[in-house]
Amino acid sequence: MSNVIDFLERMGQDAHLRHASQDEVERALTGAQIDPELQAAILAKDQRQIEALLGHCNVSCMLMPGKEDEDEDTEESPSRDNEEVTSQSKSCTAASVG
C-alpha cells in the first residue's frame, strides 16, 4: 500500500506527471509496481474504488456545542422531547488487496 501512497504523493508534487498523458501515467504506475486493479482505479480517477482497494476511506469528525439552558426553573419553555435530530453518515466498504 505504501507504494500506492508514495506514487499518489509523487503525482501530486510532480507537475509533469500530474499533467501527463494517460499512457505516461500508466507507464509510471507499472514502473512503481502498482497492482493492476489500483492502476485502473487511479487512471479512471475513481476515488471510491481506490479507497475500497486500499481498505480506507475519508474520515471526518464534527463537534457542535450544546445550547446552554438560560434558566432551568422556567416551566414555560417548550419541551425538547419532540425535536428530531437527523444525521447522515458516509460508510466505507473495505476490500482486501492481495
Judge contact between 25 and 42, C-beta under 8 A: yes
Position 75 pLDDT exceeds 70? no
pTM: 0.54
Burial class (CB in 10 A: 0-12, 13-18, 19+), 21: exposed
Any idea how long the chain is?
Answer: 98
Domain spans of the chain?
Answer: 2-54
Q: Chain-wide mean pLDDT for the chain?
A: 78
Share of the chain above pLDDT 90, in %: 41
CA atoms of 87 and 5, how far apart (whole Å)? 31
Higher pLDDT among residues 77 and 60, named by residue: 60
